[in-house]
Amino acid sequence: MEKFSTLLSPAIPLVQENVDTDQIIPARFLKATSREGFGEHLFKDWRFDEQGHPKSDFILNNPEYSGSILVAGENFGCGSSREHAAWALVDCGFKAVVSSYFADIFKGNALNNGLLPVQVSPSSLKELLAAVQSNPMTFIEINLEAQLLRVPEIGIQEHFEINPYKKTCLINGYDDIDFLLSQKEKISAFELKHIEF
């Protein structure tokens, strides 16, 4: 997993609430057997028409907006547990998603792939979306070490929460499996006294 350091980037505003993982990557594109290449199907049915031409009214197709941060409406990533949603976002160059609420499984999947979910208050999200929509060159700074999201131009500075263990993993590029493998003795000891009917 790639190490996460401070991010300073313009952002892409996706105002829609309750964006589910079927929209992020529709089920018919889940047939690949590797983790690569899902980016081309990211938001497939919102991004492309049936002939495969980009839809001009979808925000990811608007050339004015760019960057590695997605600012999305409340309850991002609900629905299916498919990790392909996180892989598709990472494959398209996203390093962070900012929203006022994330679905649990998506949040875990994102963290396991070096994609930082940044949860801000509903009022900050509203301001962020408005600022980025009106000025695509609004830069958002995300400092993981300090757990701070800043947009000095509009006076936003907000602390965000992240599990300290997950934070260390992201900063160092470790994953959970490395850690769990180091705990094997404890796990075997547990299993010996664990009764399952």
Partner 1 sequence: MGKTLFEKVWDNHIVDTVDGGQEILFIDRHFIHEVTSPQAFDGIRKRGIGLYDKNRIVATADHNVPTKDQHLPIKDELSRLQVDMLTHNCEEYDIDLYGLGHKNQGIVHVIGPELGVTKPGITIVCGDSHTSTHGAFGAVAFGIGTSQVEQVMASQCLLIQRPKTMRIIIDGELGNGIYSKDIILYIISKLSTSGGTGHFVEYAGTAIRSLSMEARMTICNMSIEMGARGGMIAPDETTFEYIKGREYAPSGQQWEEALAYWSTLYTDEDAVFDKEYVFNAEDIEPMITYGTNPGMGMGITQHLPTTTEVERPDNLLQSLQYMGFTPGASLLNTPIDHVFIGSCTNSRIEDLRIVADYVRGKKKADNVQAFIVPGSKQVEAQAKAEGLHDILLEAGFELRGPGCSACLGMNEDKIPKMEYCVSTSNRNYEGRQGPGARTLLVSPLTAAVIAVEGKVVDPRKYLNEEALA
- Sites of contact with partner 1 (CB under 8 A): 15-18, 20, 22-23, 26-28, 30-35, 45, 50, 74-75, 78-84, 86, 101, 103-105, 108-109, 112-113, 163-166, 175-177, 179-181, 183-184, 186-187, 190-191, 194-197
Query: Cβ 11 to partner 1, closest distance in Å?
Result: 20
Toward partner 1, which CB reaches closer, 56 or 152?
56
Query: Cβ 63 to partner 1, closest distance in Å?
Result: 23
- Report the length, in residues, of the chain: 197
Strand partners, 87: none
Strand partners, 141: 8, 150
Toward partner 1, which CB reaches closer, 21 or 138?
21
Closest CA relative to residue 94, chosen from 106, 104, 81: 106
Amino acid identity for residue 50 in this structure:
E
Query: Cβ 99 to partner 1, closest distance in Å?
Result: 11
Toward partner 1, which CB reaches closer, 94 or 101?
101
How far is CA 182 from each of CA 21, 58, 170, rounded to the nearest angstrom? 33, 46, 18
Toward partner 1, which CB reaches closer, 27 or 146?
27
Query: Cβ 137 to partner 1, closest distance in Å?
Result: 25
How far is CA 167 from each of CA 94, 111, 125, 176, rounded to the nearest angstrom? 18, 9, 22, 12
Q: Which distant-in-sequence residues (6+ apart) come within 8 Å of 129 by Cβ? A: 13, 15, 71, 73
* Cβ contact 89:42 at 8 Å: yes
Query: Cβ 160 to partner 1, closest distance in Å?
Result: 15
Toward partner 1, which CB reaches closer, 44 or 150?
44
